[in-house]
Amino acid sequence: MNIHIELTKRGNAMTETAETASDFIRDIIDADIRADKNGGRVITRFPPEPNGCLHIGHAKSICLNFGVAADYKGCCHLRMDDTNPAKEEVEYVDSIKQDVRWLGFDWGKHLHYASDYFGKLYDYAVELIRKGKAYACALGTEEFKGYRGSPDKPGKESPWRNRSPEESLELFRRMRAGEFEEGAYVIRAKIDMNSPNAHMRDPVIFRIKKAEHHRTGGAWVVYPMYDFAHCLSDSIEGITHSICTLEFEVHRPLYDWILNELGARHPQQIEFSRLNLTYTVMSKRKLIELVKDGRVSGWDDPRLPTISGLRRRGYTPASIREFARRVGVTKFEGFTDIALLEHCIRDELNKTAPRVMVVQRPLKVVLENYPAGQVEEMECVNNPEDQSMGVRKVPFSRELYIERDDFEENPRKDFFRLAPGREARLRYGYIVKCVSAPKDPQTGEISELRCVYNPATRGGNVPDGRKVKGAIHWVSAAHAVDVQIRLYDRLFTVERPEENEAVDFKTHLNPCSLEVLMGKAEPLMGQAKAGSRYQFERKGYFFADPVESVSGAPVFNLIVTLKDTWAKIAKRGG
């Protein structure tokens, strides 16, 4: 059983067991199958609006919709919800398809576009008007607001509400023919201006919009509204379970009303809570702002929670699916700790990524008593978690590099690495002792360490049984290859950058979310293949950037450090 801890809006740790084989949605489907509803079929859909790239929240929905379909041997449609011509672009359609495929899902023949149904949706609106269930309304935007009422005040009926169906039909025809300016008329469903649910107060179902559509071009100047298009698209495609996020719960009466009035095939809408993740933002509007303002390098910036960003960072599809599984499906609104996402990729790479030694901030070490010109091949284990991954040879010589912060001039009591007069073990090498740390006279910075090595301590051997606590990584200076390393940190400095609407979320951007270093790596890394993943010993998991790495000069993205904050949280909560 997995313990899943969700931090609630109030920040309390709340534990919940998620044996994700089942959840409330699968329970509903089980009951439907038992009752032989839909002839036992399960057809779901993932309906993104192609007005931005997908993010990890969408991944939750993708894993759920495609996962449910797979569990019940049904199918899941990919439907571009492209009813708003002004905001949508072809490049987003392509990136959405790429992302869903990359996550490991297949829509088969079922790639659909809401825009394919514009004709049918027009006809459905005509039918509603004919039945006296919709009308052409001429209230201007400002007047419209006045008539709408407020949550505690009923709305007012439009003076056009009771015009005859014939008149409305004629106006709708002329709207479609392009005879009116935008906003001159809208088609509204005739429901109930007194409804406590604002979505039921004669909602607009069609409007005039004189914009080119990326698929239908200039064929239409009237476009359906989301609520009208969505339920009917579901119905046209024969969707059985229309799974969406909780904010659509208040739209459900309208979803049902439209399908009932039209006597259309009626999928069941089921809502679940959306994914919110700490230290990031997920609204497309905000992501677009970061991309357009150049606050990040693009939609695939490795700091973004977009699927393309996570892919570029080095996340695997399996780790994201595992994350979605562990988050589970509930109706609780809450925040998921980003540490859980990091835990999932760390957990996978711990088993699969080969270990290598890479020094990020090099400090030269000269072993005074090691023969100049001598090179030893040290045998290193590729992955202690998986002996089948074997061993490799790493050259060792008189001049090495270690991390600058593995030396301290004035060490604290609990510092177990190198310091003047102190010993440390070079992993897979020898125990060395620092004899001096000369400084650059100009900068005052330590320029190198002069050390002596103990020839009897090769490969971890300690002849006199002494304890040498610190084991540090190193590379041979003469053999090392230069590698660019990009250390990524969280994009925001606060857990919930969107919490306070009065404060621009961008003020919480982490100014240190990217640090670029030139490091020294063991020779093998010169041949690191773009797109491969490694554990840099003692540092973290890294990904050879698939775009910028060139043969012989890899660029590494930090995927995640080795520090597992999630394990700590889980222990505390569990």
Q: Which residues belong to the active site?
A: 49, 274, 284
Q: Does the protein bind ligand ATP through residue 274 (CB under 6 A)? A: yes
Residue 282 contact among Mg ion, ligand ATP, none, beta carbon within 5 to 8 Å by kind? ligand ATP
Is residue 309 involved in binding ligand ATP (CB under 6 A)? Answer: no
302's contact among Mg ion, ligand ATP, none, with CB below 5 to 8 A by partner kind, is none
We find the least distance from the C-beta atom of residue 473 to ligand ATP, in angstroms, to be 39
Binding map of ligand ATP across residues 78-117, x = CB under 6 A, - = no contact: ---x------------------------------------
Q: Report yes or no: 391 and 380 within 8 Å, Cβ to Cβ.
A: yes
- Minimum separation from the CB atom of position 300 to Mg ion (A): 21
Name the token pair of 339.
């540490």
Q: Check: CB of residue 71 under 8 Å from CB of residue 63.
A: no
Query: Mind spelling out the 3-state secondary structure of 491-504?
Result: CECCCCCCCCCCCC
Q: How far is the CB of 25 from ligand ATP (least distance, A)?
A: 13
Indicate the residue whose CB is closest to Mg ion. Answer: 49
For 459, residues 6+ apart whose C-beta sits below 8 A from its C-beta are: 378, 379, 428, 429
Widest pairwise Cα distance in the chain: 102
φ, ψ (nearest 5 deg) of residue 209? -145, 115
| Whole-angstrom distance, CA of residue 62 vs CA of residue 76 | 9
Least gap, CB of 66 to Mg ion (angstroms) = 18
Report how far residue 396's alpha carbon sits from residue 393's, in angstroms, rounded to the nearest whole number.
10
Q: Tell whether residue 284 is a contact of ligand ATP (CB under 6 A).
A: yes
| Sheet with 475-476, edge to edge strand ranges | 471-472, 423-426, 431-436, 448-453, 362-367, 399-403, 475-476
Cβ-based nearer residue to Mg ion, 87 or 393: 87
Pick what 57 binds: ligand ATP, Mg ion, none; C-beta below 5 to 8 Å, kind-dependent: ligand ATP
Report how far residue 275's alpha carbon sits from residue 272's, in angstroms, rounded to the nearest whole number: 9
Shortest Å, Cβ 249 to ligand ATP: 11
- Dihedral pair phi/psi, residue 101, rounded to 5°: -65, -45
> Can you tell me whether residue 278 is helix, strand or coil?
coil
Out of ligand ATP, Mg ion, none, what residue 244 binds, judged by CB under 5 to 8 A for its kind, is: ligand ATP
Rounded to the nearest whole angstrom, what is the least distance from the CB of residue 277 to ligand ATP in the complex?
Answer: 8
Closer to ligand ATP at the Cβ: 81 or 537? 81
Residue 335's nearest CA partner among 249, 274, 259, 247 is 274
Size of interface with Mg ion, in residues (CB under 5 A): 1
Any idea what DSSP says for residue 275? P
CA distance 339 to 528: 28
Size of the site for ligand ATP (CB under 6 A): 15
Q: How far is the CB of 493 from ligand ATP (least distance, A)?
A: 21
Nearer to ligand ATP, 283 or 374 (CB): 283
Q: Binding string to Mg ion for residues 28 to 67, with x set by CB under 5 A, is what?
A: ---------------------x------------------
Residue keyed to tokens 């829509």: 107
Output 306 or 397, the one with its CB closest to Mg ion: 306
284 binds, among ligand ATP, Mg ion, none (CB under 5 to 8 A by kind): ligand ATP
Residue 48, binding choice from Mg ion, ligand ATP, none, Cβ under 5 to 8 Å by partner class: ligand ATP
Question: DSSP for 416-429?
Answer: -SB-TT-EEEETTS
String marking each residue 31-60 x if it binds ligand ATP according to CB under 6 A: ----------------xxx-------xx-x
What order of strands is seen across the sheet that includes strand 334-335?
A: 13-17, 3-8, 334-335
Residues 433-492 that bind Mg ion (CB under 5 A): none
Residue pair 378/428 in contact by the 8 Å Cβ criterion: yes
Q: Is 296 strand, coil or helix?
A: coil
Binding status of residue 61 toward ligand ATP by CB under 6 A = yes
Q: Quote the CA–CA distance of 140 and 567 in Å, as a whole number.
A: 57
Residues from 132 through 161 that contact Mg ion (CB under 5 A): none
Q: Which does 192 bind (CB under 5 to 8 A by kind): Mg ion, ligand ATP, none?
A: none
Supply φ then ψ for residue 385, to 5 degrees: -80, -15
Q: From the list Mg ion, ligand ATP, none, which binds 507 (C-beta under 5 to 8 Å, kind-based)?
A: none
80 or 103: CB nearest Mg ion: 80
- At its nearest, how many Å lie between Mg ion and the CB of residue 81? 7
Write down the least CB distance from residue 495 to ligand ATP, Å.
16
Q: Find where tokens 């100047």 sit.
A: 221
Please, which residue, 497 or 554, has the CB nearer to ligand ATP?
497
* CA 349 vs CA 353, 397, 425, 534: distances in Å: 5, 30, 26, 8
Beta bridge partners of 517: 485
Q: How far is the CB of 307 from ligand ATP (least distance, A)?
A: 12
Interface with ligand ATP includes 282 (CB under 6 A)?
A: yes
Of all residues in this chain, which one has the CB nearest to ligand ATP in the complex? 57
Is 275 a residue that touches ligand ATP (CB under 6 A)? yes
Count of H helices and E strands in the chain?
Answer: 13, 28
Residues between 223 and 262 that touch ligand ATP (CB under 6 A): 244-245
Site stretch for ligand ATP (CB under 6 A), options 19-27, 212-220, 277-285, 405-413 = 277-285
Cα gap 240→265, rounded to integer Å = 9
Rounded distance between C-alpha atoms, residue 385 and residue 350, angstroms:
7
CA distances to 66, 137, 245, 560 from 104, in Å: 10, 46, 22, 22
In the complex with ligand ATP, which residue's Cβ is closer, 282 or 472? Answer: 282
Q: Which residues bind Mg ion (CB under 5 A)?
A: 49
Q: Which residues bind ligand ATP (CB under 6 A)?
A: 47-49, 57-58, 60-61, 81, 244-245, 274-275, 282-284
